[in-house]
Structure 1
Amino acid sequence: MTEQNIISAPTPVQGTPEASGELTDLLGLMARLRADCPWDQKQSNHSLIPYAIEEAYELGEAVQADDDEDIKSELGDVLLQVVFHCQLYAEQGRFDISDVISTLQQKLIRRHPHVFEAENLVDEAAVKVRWDEIKAEEHQAAAAR
């Protein structure tokens, strides 16, 4: 966990929290659940895998149905999976949500040279080809490590 990237170490919320819509409050809520909920305490990154997969499928169904309330709910469930996994990895001292966000930002910048560099990609098809090339290069580099 990089000190400069830490959003803030989540402090478990006290009392009954309100739904503020703020990421830091969500992280505090997750920390409280890990501290005080027996089910949440028992979970591991491995035990959460089926839930992450299920929520991704449910999000796909909600988008297909084009139901805004269901989409918001299912996006929240997918976000819960991200936050829950990040909380568990942070507890293990491996990384935190700030590291995940930074990694995503780096990937988005790297995979969009037509936006952030001088590459001139003229249409969606060219962007997709370049994205796939960059992704393949990343996988090769990872395999070489």
Structure 2
Amino acid sequence: MVATLQTRKPITAIQTEDLDAFPMWEFCLDEEGVEEMDETWIRPVNAAEIPKGAYALTVAVRVVTANGTELKGFIAIDTAGAFEVSGLGVSSPQYCFIPIAVTAADKAAFCAIVSVAPEVAFPIRYQLCVALEGEAMLREGQIG
């Protein structure tokens, strides 16, 4: 099912198709308790760029492992102060989120899901699929 602006789902259910339809998502904190929703539920953001002054956005990224394998994923960011990344996730073949301060256990979990060894997966590079407000270039970064 293609995501629409009315789509609501737990972050752990986000799919590549959702990120293709809407590359930016936010938590539905103002909707907690509605139809069994809790603090893990997200909704699409209809915006052409990442706004400054935002908290807890989920933004689509292009992911490249150390051996060059390309994946679609997302990062969790805040832009309320300085641009801050708290972690990176993938949804295929199943959901996996690794924090920016990645541990050996985080690396092992990620590698098990994407079927690669840690030495060929890390460091992971990413590039945002949406520009930050006021910037022309898509930001890039690295985890691990």
The two structures have a TM-score, normalised by structure 2, of 0.23
Structure 1 or 2: more strand by fraction: 2
> For the pair shown, which has the larger CA radius of gyration, 1 or 2?
1
What is the TM-score of this pair, normalised by structure 1?
Answer: 0.23
Say which structure is richer in helix: 1
